[in-house]
Every structure is written in structure tokens, then in C-alpha cells.
């Protein structure tokens, strides 16, 4: 019944000519849609299977191209490659009709992961349990790793939230999805301030800043961390103004210096004086390291927030670097609450990633992972020469 309501016929084989994202060559695809997986303002996502090619279950994202909004998703997805960013396999455009109007639809075929981070933690909340801290560490680390890479190539995601993060509990892997709002930010250039979903919107955006930087993603990641730690939305504002009220309830009233740092052109400073509430009082079960990391991400002044790569080096993630189990093949892993040991790659850094903050590499790459870097990438941290990051920044509209 659900499939019929969604207009899904899982017996029908669709055939299209698409572009292979890896080779940029035209190929014929045959596939079936098996279930609706989600939808947004301009897009709908289906789960499906390719008839040939060995990809197994994949996700199909169909996005209506609206001339009023610039969608850079295909450009950015074609240019990025990272283990914690969803992989695009194929794409094609097609013409369609919508209430008598001719429209253009972009179709993306993406790798499939079974669960959103939102559903993963809500499974525990519904049972009145807290999301395990080891799971929080595993997933937040990978989210920050994705952001560190994106920010280094110049991309700001601008819509970080648990619904835009997919996880696989069996492998422990996380990928960031939905690049429909993403943009290459240029220093000094103006951007729309109405970005990010409300609960995860950085305060500088609420103050109307149009010259923000990628630290808005870091704020959003902090909101995600807070949500995983408490089991519900951390700043549950009912409107843009109420969102600021919720932030002030926790962080206290921003000072004039804070407001200037968020938006130098904002001149209204008549805010009621509210005292900050210690995060450990809001999250009494959270570890001291978790509280410290959260407090370093959720700061009014964007320049004082940790960067994504600095957050990866925080001692909250030391347990991941140590590992808590060792497999028979000698590889280090992390044992999850269900007893499974996940050995997802956490330290298989590329030369580019190691060039983001070379001074942090001895923290980011634990001793047990350095031999693999040497064997697989011929990288010796002692003699490693960083790449010029400017040469790798994306130059997209």
C-alpha cells in the first residue's frame, strides 16, 4: 500500500542513458525503484537497485531545477571525493511535466547507506535510552572529517543536520549527503544569510551576516553533537527570532563584541541580560571531554570556534585513536554497544588531508596507523611535505 501511495512500481525496469561520474562517459542504466526514502522542497529520494553493474542497492535523488535558485549540487559532487562524503555514481537530466509546466529534473544515483543519524539516535530516545557515547564519538569524528576536507577545498555545506548524515551501524561508516545548499565561499564575497535548517543555524546568520565563512558548518556540527548527547534538538526554536532566544538561554546574552564579530553592520544591541547556563548542568551525563568539545564549537564569535580539523584532534576522540579491541588480523577497531567491532577507516588520510594542519598530524594519526600510511601511501609523517592547499581549492561559481 505504501509503495502504491508513493507511485512506486518495483516491478518496472527503467532504462536511461546516464553519465558515469567516474569516467564521464555515457552509459545505459537499467534500474528499479523499490521504496521512497525521503523528500525535500525540490527533491525526492528513492531507494532502488541497478539491474547490472554490481552496485547493489543505491539511492536515486530527483531534483527539480528551479531557475530562481542556483543548485550547485552536481558541480560540487563531481569535484569532491572523500570516504565520508556520499559517492555519486551516475547522473542524468530529463524533461518532465508539472501541472502543465515543462520542467527539468536532475537525477543523481548515489551510494546507499541504510540509516540517517537522526533515526539512529531516535531509536534510543524512543526506548528512553541515551545514544551511546562511543557511537557519538565514532559518528561525530567522521562528520568533522568530512567537514575538514570540504572546508579545505573551499566548500561550505550550509545544511548540516542529522537528517543529512547517513550511517551504517554494521560497518560504522558515516557519509554526509545533500549538497543542494553547498557553495564555494570566497573571502569577502556576499552570500545569502538565510542558510541552514533553523535548529542548526549559526547565530551570525540569524543576525543577518552575509559575509560568513565555513564556521557556520562547525556551529551546526556542534548542534548535532548537543543533540546526540541530550537525545533531542539542542536549540529548538520555533522561528528565527525564537531560535536566537533558545541560544541565548544557554550561552547567555551576546556582548557587543560578540555581535560585532557575528555581523559588524548590526547596530541593535538592546537585548535582555541573560546569564549563561553551564553545559554540564544541561548535560549532566556527558563526559568532561564532551562538554569541553561542545563548548568549543558553540561560540558566538565565529573566529573562536574550533575548525573541523582542530575538533578532530580534541581529546574527546582519543578513545577512537586508542581503539578498544584488536582484531585477529592485527587491525585496531572500536567495539560498539551491540558487541560488534567496527574497523571503518578513521585514519586512512590522503596526502591532501594531512596537508590541512600538518602540525596536528601526530595527534590525528595514532602510532598504530602510521605503518599503514607508509605502506599504502608512502607517507612518513617525519618527512612529510604538505601540499599547497590553494592549488586544490575548487573554483566553482
The predicted model gives 218-225 an average pLDDT of 99
C-alpha cell at 97: 511535466
Catalytic site includes residue 159: yes
* Cell 530562481, located at residue: 68
The answer, yes or no, to whether residue 365 has pLDDT greater than 70, is yes
Which pLDDT score, from 0 to 100, does residue 3 have? 47
Say yes or no to pLDDT of 312 above 80: yes
Q: pLDDT category, 5, cuts 50, 70, 90?
A: very low
pLDDT in tens, 251-267: 999 999 999 999 988 87
- Point out the catalytic residue in the list 9, 10, 101, 159: 159
pLDDT at 130: 94
Does residue 324 surpass a pLDDT of 80? no
* Residue 88: exposure state from Cβ atoms within 10 A (0-12, 13-18, ≥19): buried
pLDDT exceeds 80 at position 71? no
Helix (H) or strand (E) holding 111: strand 101-111
State the cell numbers at 396: 566553482
- pLDDT higher than 60, residue 282: yes
Per-residue pLDDT tens digits for 117-165: 999 999 999 999 999 999 999 999 999 999 999 999 999 999 999 999 9
Question: Is 70 exceeded by the pLDDT of residue 9?
Answer: no
User: What is the four-CA torsion angle of 128, 131, 133, 137, rounded to 10 degrees?
Assistant: -170
Comparison of pLDDT for 359 and 332, the residue scoring more: 359
Average pLDDT of 232-261?
95
Phi, psi (degrees; rounded to nearest 5) at 225: -60, -45
**Residue/partner pairs of 63-70 with CB below 8 Å, 24 or more apart:** 63/105, 63/106, 63/107, 63/108, 63/180, 64/98, 64/103, 64/104, 64/105, 65/93, 65/103, 65/104, 65/105, 65/106, 66/42, 69/42, 70/397
What's the average model confidence in pLDDT over 214-236? Answer: 98
Interior/surface letters 336-351, b for 16+ CB within 10 angstroms, e for the rest: beeeebbebebbebee
- 283-299 mean pLDDT: 98
The pLDDT of residue 389 is above 50: yes
CB 290 within 8 A of CB 283: yes
Q: What is the mean pLDDT of the chain?
A: 91
331 pLDDT higher than 80: no
Looking at the chain, the number of H-run helices and the number of E-run strands are: 15, 14
> What are the chain's domains?
11-109 (3.30.200.20), 115-306 (1.10.510.10)
- Is 209 in contact with 71 (CB distance < 8 Å)? no
Percent with pLDDT over 70 in the chain: 93
Q: What is the pLDDT of residue 39?
A: 72
Amino acid at each position: 500500500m505504501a509503495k502504491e501511495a508513493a507511485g512506486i512500481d518495483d516491478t518496472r525496469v527503467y532504462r536511461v542513458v546516464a553519465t558515469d561520474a567516474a569516467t564521464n562517459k555515457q552509459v545505459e542504466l537499467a534500474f528499479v525503484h523499490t521504496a521512497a526514502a525521503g523528500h525535500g522542497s525540490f527533491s525526492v529520494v528513492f531507494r532502488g537497485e541497478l539491474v547490472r553493474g554490481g552496485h547493489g542497492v543505491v539511492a536515486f535523488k530527483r531534483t527539480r531545477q528551479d531557475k530562481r535558485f542556483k543548485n550547485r549540487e552536481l558541480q560540487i559532487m563531481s569535484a569532491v571525493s572523500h570516504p565520508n562524503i556520499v559517492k555519486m555514481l551516475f547522473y542524468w537530466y530529463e524533461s518532465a511535466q508539472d501541472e502543465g509546466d515543462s520542467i527539468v529534473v536532475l537525477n543523481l544515483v548515489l551510494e546507499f547507506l541504510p540509516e540517517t543519524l537522526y533515526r539512529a539516535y531516535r531509536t534510543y530516545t524512543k526506548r528512553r535510552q541515551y545514544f551511546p557515547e562511543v557511537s557519538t564519538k565514532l559518528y561525530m569524528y567522521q562528520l568533522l572529517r568530512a567537514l575538514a576536507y570540504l572546508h579545505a577545498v573551499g566548500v561550505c555545506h550550509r545544511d548540516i543536520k542529522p537528517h543529512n548524515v547517513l550511517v551504517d551501524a554494521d560497518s560504522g561508516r558515516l557519509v554526509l549527503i545533500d549538497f543542494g545548499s553547498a557553495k564555494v565561499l570566497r573571502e569577502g564575497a556576499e552570500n545569502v544569510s538565510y542558510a541552514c535548517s533553523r535548529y542548526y543555524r549559526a547565530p551570525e546568520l540569524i543576525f543577518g551576516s552575509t559575509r560568513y565563512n565555513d564556521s557556520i558548518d562547525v556551529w551546526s556540527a556542534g548542534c548535532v553533537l548537543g543533540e546526540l548527547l541530550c537525545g533531542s534538538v539542542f536549540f529548538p526554536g520555533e522561528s528565527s527570532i525564537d531560535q536566537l532566544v533558545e541560544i541565548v538561554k544557554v550561552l547567555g546574552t551576546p556582548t557587543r563584541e560578540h555581535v560585532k564579530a557575528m555581523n559588524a553592520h548590526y547596530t541593535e544591541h538592546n537585548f535582555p541580560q541573560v546569564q549563561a547556563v553551564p553545559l554540564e548542568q544541561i548535560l549532566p551525563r556527558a563526559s568532561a571531554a564532551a562538554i569541553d568539545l561542545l563548548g568549543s564549537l558553540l561560540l558566538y564569535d565565529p573566529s573562536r570556534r574550533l575548525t573541523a580539523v582542530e575538533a578532530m584532534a580534541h581529546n574527546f576522540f582519543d578513545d577512537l585513536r586508542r581503539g578498544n579491541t584488536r582484531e585477529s588480523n592485527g587491525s585496531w577497531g572500536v567495539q560498539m554497544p551491540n558487541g560488534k567491532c567496527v574497523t571503518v577507516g578513521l585514519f586512512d588520510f590522503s596526502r591532501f588531508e594531512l596537508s590541512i594542519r600538518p602540525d596536528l598530524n601526530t595527534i590525528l594519526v595514532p602510532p598504530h596507523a602510521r605503518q599503514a600510511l607508509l605502506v599504502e601511501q608512502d607517507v612518513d609523517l617525519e618527512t612529510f611535505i604538505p601540499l599547497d592547499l590553494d592549488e586544490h581549492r575548487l573554483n566553482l561559481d
